[in-house]
Amino acid sequence: MKARIGYVAWVAGVVQFFVAHVIVESAWTRPYSWVRNNISDLGNAHCAMQSEPQSRYVCSPEHGLMNASFIALGTLFVVGVVFAGAVFRTGATAIIARCLLTCAGVGFVLAGLAPADVHENQHVLGALLIMAIGNIGLVLAGVGLADEVSGPLHWATSLLGVTAVTAFGLFLSHRYLGLGMGGMERVAVFPLLAWALSAGVRGLFHQATRMQDAWPRRDTAQATRS
């Protein structure tokens, strides 16, 4: 039951984030671009020209919804890390990975509480917790996953982490490789969300399968006793 809470939290957190993302970006009068705009632009509280890291006009009428979604995502992400402990081993690597992933969840909450155009320093700190600390945790999580977790998720976890860390470095150096500022930022952020969603769905499916397998054995045991 405890692990299921964690799995559901991961899935719910990621799904609500992308639903909110679509709703908020659709409210822009000037089309929002996944290539030219940062994710944080959706949560900016004021309409204004932004000069860094690239010049663009930002006006997000539904910024309150986006910031609430950031907070919900971070909270549910941390709940998942805490409750879905069955995904991880018990060694030092797994413990460090979980701590760093928890920092990523805190980063999402901080990003929602401190919009970039209101409390820039706090927002940047939140972004660093997500894209630097959290992604390092994702790399370590590939090593710290429990043995019962399927092989593909093991190697995919580390691959996602390495991809995200590399993208974060390129994002900081303003080397977008044709993806644009917003595109490269998403390559640095979305692997973490893709992993949480995959781990959550995998965990729920695995639990459902185990329950289905347990029913025939339970029926057989009852028939034997009768």
Tokens of 39: 């994710």
* Confidence band, pLDDT 50/70/90 cuts, at residue 152: confident
Domain ranges in the chain are 2-204
Closest C-alpha to 24, from 54, 70, 65: 65
3-state secondary structure of 48: strand
pLDDT at 218 > cutoff 70: no
Question: What pLDDT, on a 0 to 100 scale, did the predictor assign at position 86?
Answer: 82
Q: d(Cα 92, Cα 76) in Å, to the nearest integer?
A: 24
Task: Among 52-56, 132-136, 212-216, name the one with the lowest average pLDDT.
Answer: 212-216
Question: What pLDDT, on a 0 to 100 scale, did the predictor assign at position 68?
Answer: 98
Tens digits of residue pLDDT in 15-48: 999 999 999 999 999 999 999 999 999 999 999 9
Instruction: Tell me the pTM.
Output: 0.89
Question: What pLDDT, on a 0 to 100 scale, did the predictor assign at position 106?
Answer: 98
Closest C-alpha to 104, from 193, 3, 211: 193
Tens digits of residue pLDDT in 188-201: 999 999 999 999 99
